[in-house]
Amino acid sequence: MRLSRLAAALTGLLILAMPPTVRAAAEHAAFPAKGDLSSATKRVLKFRGASRTYLVRPVAGPGPWPLVVMLHGATISAERTWTQTSLPTLGAKEKFIVVAPQGVDNRWDESFGSGPDNDVEFLRAVMRDVEAKDHADPKAVFLIGMSNGGFMTIHFVCAGGGGELRAAGVVSATLGEDEIADCVPRKPLPWIEMHGDADQIVPFTAGEGLLSAEQTFAYFADKAGCTAAIKRDKLPDVVANDGSTAEKRVRSGCAGGKQTSTFYVLHGAGHSWPNSRSGPPGERGAVNQDIDGGTVAWEHFRATLTPR
């Protein structure tokens, strides 16, 4: 499925408030706070004759600093995404730069053309801009996206942009059958994936031209050179009334034998970022509150910076 087709399917989808019972339980969980929009600086980047924007939270000092780039879903802005995840808060604490680029009309485009809608090149331009202005480490750049942003992450990796990353991952996104033949990651990338098995928007199972979530994880874990079979762990049901439980699946021996690829299967969860404020009413389904998406993403990325 092309990104434009997914974007069309998501048009008009609303972000709904979390029910009070789940919200109250989540607030007592030992997870970092969501991002505060006041912590973000909005920048305008001239890209191929157009004015594109991104949000950034720099780190004070000479660096070099790790850089985490997070991509919003279709119909959702970079600003909204900033307040739905703990990555900006973690960046302040752990000293890594957080960036949230803005797609045109709140969508990502996989065009290879020479115009300003070529988002593979736009993301490269954002990374170079932050490296120049904020002392981001070009050897420690990470990319993660949800839904349409996850499809863009996959496309970026498959189209060769993976050579500029240290690790990558997706939430509620899978690999398209039509992209497999052209998917050529330039190096092994430790992969992280999160997906609800009750997702009705990007199904956990295969269909509509998409691989299943399990097939997608297997594909990128194999591309990362992971040699071990999956190890499965059922995680504690921290919030019993969220309608979801979490399972962690890990493949080790990746990227030369020192790294892992990790898949969080969110049983009963729908189309959502774990521990976000959106859902569960309506099409998005339940939101897993047993893990924090920003925390597990950063833990995965940080592990690649530590020699093993």
Q: Is the pLDDT assigned to residue 20 strictly greater than 60?
A: no
Residue 303: the pLDDT is 96
> Is the residue at 22 inside a domain?
no
Mean pLDDT of the chain: 89
Residue type for position 99: V
> Is the residue at 235 inside a domain?
yes
> Is the residue at 249 inside a domain?
yes
> Is the residue at 26 inside a domain?
no
> Is the residue at 19 inside a domain?
no
In terms of phi and psi (left: phi > 0; alpha: psi -120 to 50; beta: otherwise), the region of 95 is left
Residue range 126-130: mean pLDDT, rounded: 98
Q: Is the pLDDT assigned to residue 24 strictly greater than 70?
A: no
- Cβ within 8 Å of residue 227, ≥6 positions away: 252, 253, 254, 257
Q: Considering only 46-50, 111-115, 167-171, which range has the smallest mean pLDDT? A: 111-115
Please report, for residues 142, 190, 236, 256, the alpha-carbon distance to residue 170 in angstroms, rounded to integers and kept in the order given.
Answer: 11, 12, 22, 22
Diameter of the chain measured on Cα atoms = 51
3-state DSSP assignment of residue 156: helix
3-state DSSP assignment of residue 86: coil
In terms of phi and psi (left: phi > 0; alpha: psi -120 to 50; beta: otherwise), the region of 253 is left
Beta bridge partners of 260: 252
199-244 confidence digits (pLDDT tens): 999 999 999 999 999 999 999 999 999 999 999 999 999 999 999 9
Beta bridge partners of 43: 54
Please report, for the domain that includes residue 227, its CATH number.
3.40.50.1820
Residue 230: the pLDDT is 97
**Which one has a higher pLDDT value, 244 or 281?**
244
Can you read off the two tokens belonging to residue 133?
């202005």
Q: Is the pLDDT assigned to residue 277 strictly greater than 80?
A: no
Q: Considering only 32-36, 125-129, 255-259, which range has the smallest mean pLDDT? A: 255-259
Residue range 22-37: mean pLDDT, rounded: 70
H/E segment holding residue 124: helix 119-134
Q: Considering only 107-111, 169-173, 223-227, 240-244, which range has the smallest mean pLDDT? A: 107-111
Q: Is the pLDDT assigned to residue 13 strictly greater than 60?
A: no
> Is the residue at 308 inside a domain?
no
How many domains is the chain partitioned into structurally?
Answer: 1
Residue type for position 179: E
> Is the residue at 77 inside a domain?
yes
Domain limits for position 226: 3-12+34-303
- Of 133, 124, 64, the residue nearest 95 (C-alpha): 64
Torsional sign, CA 298, 301, 305, 307: positive
